[in-house]
C-alpha cells in the first residue's frame, strides 16, 4: 500500500514522510525533490521560469509516474491535490492523509523559510498569515477528501500497519 501525505506548506509533509517511511520500512518520495531533480532547477526557479501551469503539469506527471511503485510514502506539494484530479488519483492508488496543522503552527514554521517557497517568498509576515488563511480555504475542499485527517504528530503515532494488513 502507498501513503500520500497532503496539506498546506509547512504542515510537515517532508519531515513526517521520512519518519513514517522509516517506521513502516517503506521507501519515501518527495514530489518537489523529484521534480527539481528531473528539471535540474529548484521549484522556485521552475515557477519563475515556466510558471505555475507548467509546474502543475510536471507535478501530475511525476505523481502518476509513481503508479507502479509499492510500499511508498509520498510527500506531495501543498497544491498537488487541487489540480488535474490528483486527489482522486491518490485516493484510488493508496491511503491519503491530510496533515492538518493550525494556522499559527504553519505561520511559525514558514516565517523563516519564505526564501525557499515560491508562493510566499515576497510576503511580509502579516501577508503570510492572510495568504495561508486564503489558501487553506481554497484547498480545504480537496484536503477533506483524504481518508485520514491527522496532525503530523498523530500521523507518526497512527497504526497504519493495522490498516494496511487489515489487522
> Which domains does the chain show, CATH number per domain?
3-165 (3.40.50.300)
Q: How far apart are CA 18 and CA 25, in angstroms?
A: 10
pTM: 0.94
pLDDT of 166 reads 58
Determine the pLDDT at residue 35. 98
Cα separation, 9 vs 7, in Å, equals: 7
Provide mean pLDDT across the span 37-58.
95
Phi-psi category of residue 77: left, alpha or beta, with phi > 0 → left and psi -120 to 50 → alpha? beta
Closest by alpha carbon to 136, among 152, 148, 119?
A: 119
Amino acid at each position: 500500500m502507498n501513503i500520500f501525505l497532503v496539506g498546506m506548506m509547512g504542515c510537515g509533509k517532508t519531515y513526517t514522510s521520512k519518519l513514517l517511511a522509516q517506521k513502516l520500512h517503506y521507501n519515501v518520495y518527495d514530489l518537489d525533490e523529484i521534480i527539481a531533480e528531473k528539471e535540474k532547477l529548484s521549484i522556485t526557479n521552475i515557477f519563475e521560469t515556466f510558471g505555475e501551469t507548467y509546474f502543475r503539469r510536471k507535478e501530475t506527471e511525476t505523481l502518476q509516474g509513481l503508479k507502479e511503485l509499492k510500499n511508498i510514502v509520498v510527500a506531495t506539494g501543498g497544491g498537488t491535490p487541487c489540480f488535474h484530479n490528483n486527489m482522486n488519483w491518490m485516493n484510488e492508488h493508496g491511503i491519503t492523509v491530510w496533515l492538518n496543522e493550525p494556522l499559527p503552527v504553519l505561520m511559525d514554521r514558514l516565517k523563516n523559510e519564505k526564501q525557499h517557497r515560491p508562493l510566499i517568498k515576497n510576503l511580509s509576515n502579516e501577508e503570510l498569515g492572510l495568504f495561508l488563511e486564503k489558501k487553506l480555504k481554497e484547498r480545504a475542499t480537496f484536503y477533506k477528501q483524504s481518508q485520514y485527517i491527522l496532525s503530523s504528530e498523530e500521523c507518526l503515532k497512527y497504526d497504519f500497519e493495522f490498516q494496511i494488513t487489515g489487522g
